[in-house]
Amino acid sequence: MFHDRQKVSLDTAGRDAYLDGVTEGSSPYEKESVFHHDWCRGWHLQAQEDAESQENDELALYHEERAEFHRLDGREARICLLGGAPHPADLGKAIGISPEDWEGRCYEIADAIVSAGLIEGRAAYGHFTGRVHPQSMFGGMLVVQHGWILRPDGLICDPTRWVFEKRPPYIFIGTDEDYDEGGNEFRLANLGSFPARGSSGPVFRLDLEKGVVAALRRMVCSEFPEDAELSPKQAWWIASLPPYVLGGTARPVFSALERAGHKAFIPIDNWKSVMTNKPADLA
């Protein structure tokens, strides 16, 4: 009876030591002793319970996030599993790639689904900015590149979001808070201000109509030259702006850059999204 009480006491001491940040190797008892064994047993039990508790907290948070409601055009839409979400197994059978083989192939899968006419929309590529499970294949990455489907109604259809969440396959349908097409938010945050002409190369003129130049100066960058003569660095800066910043000037600016031989300055995802959509009116 005395030994049992002593064992419980040492278990508790080991648990308390773990909670206080004491390492297992810092046991106050001789390594081969019964006391050391009982103390370490308590330390390990507490470590295991702590790990399980953390995992349960993360799982509860994922469930909570998926239960959030977002208002879209006057309708309430649940983040995940909106009506009409197809089953991954059905999509996998249709494109000839099983969902178990979708990990690390996000854009390929999204493009295959769209190309097969299974989901209406277009394949998009950029950054995933939502929560990533630390034990997923992307855990610990600062920038997570990703591919998904953008539907005509503006909703995201993501066949491989489950990879980030380390969950069984499902098809996410929801809003775009966790998606940065083209990595534009990241690029814009690091772009800086419009550069001075300086001596970064020969100046050339973008072939833009006066109305486009005026719109650029009014809505995008007041420092944009009225004569549209730019250095390569200035042209790169304009080309790097997200389409939603360029607005109705995006298509004519991209076209002018292509004619000037500087299409390479334009991020390919932005080129595709702008040049394959209908032209926007200049505001």
Over its length of 283 residues, how does the chain's per-residue pLDDT go in tens digits?
A: 434 445 457 878 888 888 888 888 888 888 888 888 888 888 888 888 877 776 666 555 555 544 443 333 333 333 333 445 788 999 999 999 999 999 999 999 999 999 999 999 999 999 999 999 999 999 989 899 999 999 999 999 999 999 999 999 999 999 989 999 989 998 998 899 999 887 666 889 999 999 999 999 999 999 999 999 999 999 999 999 999 999 999 999 999 999 999 999 999 889 988 987 654 444 4
Angle (CA) 241-270-280 rounded to 5° is 85
The whole-angstrom separation of Cα 233 and Cα 200 is 6
Q: Check whether residue 53 and residue 29 sit in a common domain.
A: yes
Is residue 167 located within the same domain as residue 87? yes
Say what the pLDDT of residue 282 is: 44
Same domain, 98 and 7: no
Answer yes or no: is 71 within a domain.
Answer: no
| Final residue of a structural domain among 146, 181, 216 | 181
Are residues 211 and 261 both part of a single domain?
yes
Q: How far apart are the first and last CA of the chain?
A: 85
pLDDT at residue 247, as a whole number? 93
CA dihedral 40, 43, 46, 52 (to 10 degrees): -80
Domain check: are 191 and 165 in the same one?
no
What's the confidence (pLDDT) of residue 58? 57
Domain finish residue from 134, 156, 181: 181
Strand 179-181's sheet: what is its strand order?
172-174, 156-158, 145-150, 122-128, 179-181
pLDDT at 74: 34
Given this model, what pLDDT does residue 59 score? 55
DSSP codes, 221-276: -TTS-TT-EE-HHHHHHHHTS-HHHHGGGHHHHHHHHHHTT-GGGS-HHHHHHHHT
Q: Give how many domains the chain has, as a whole number.
A: 3
Contact 216, 209 (CB under 8 A): no
Task: Tell me, yes or no, whether 129 lies in a domain.
Answer: yes
Tell me whether residue 72 is in a domain: no
On whether both 270 and 194 belong to a single domain, the answer is yes
In a domain, 7, yes or no: yes
User: Is 9 part of a structural domain of the chain?
Assistant: yes
Structural domain contains residue 76: no
Q: Which of 181, 215, 243 corresponds to the end of one domain?
A: 181
In a domain, 168, yes or no: yes
Hey, what's the torsion of the CAs at 212, 215, 221, 222, to 10 degrees? 110
Is residue 73 domain-resident?
Answer: no
pTM: 0.60
Pair (157, 199) in one structural domain: no
In this predicted structure, what is the pLDDT of residue 250? Answer: 95
Residue 180: both structure tokens together: 């940065």
What angle is formed at CA 215 by the lines to CA 214 and CA 218, rounded to 5 degrees?
85
**Cβ(128)–Cβ(144) below 8 Å:** yes
**What is the domain extent for residue 268?**
187-275
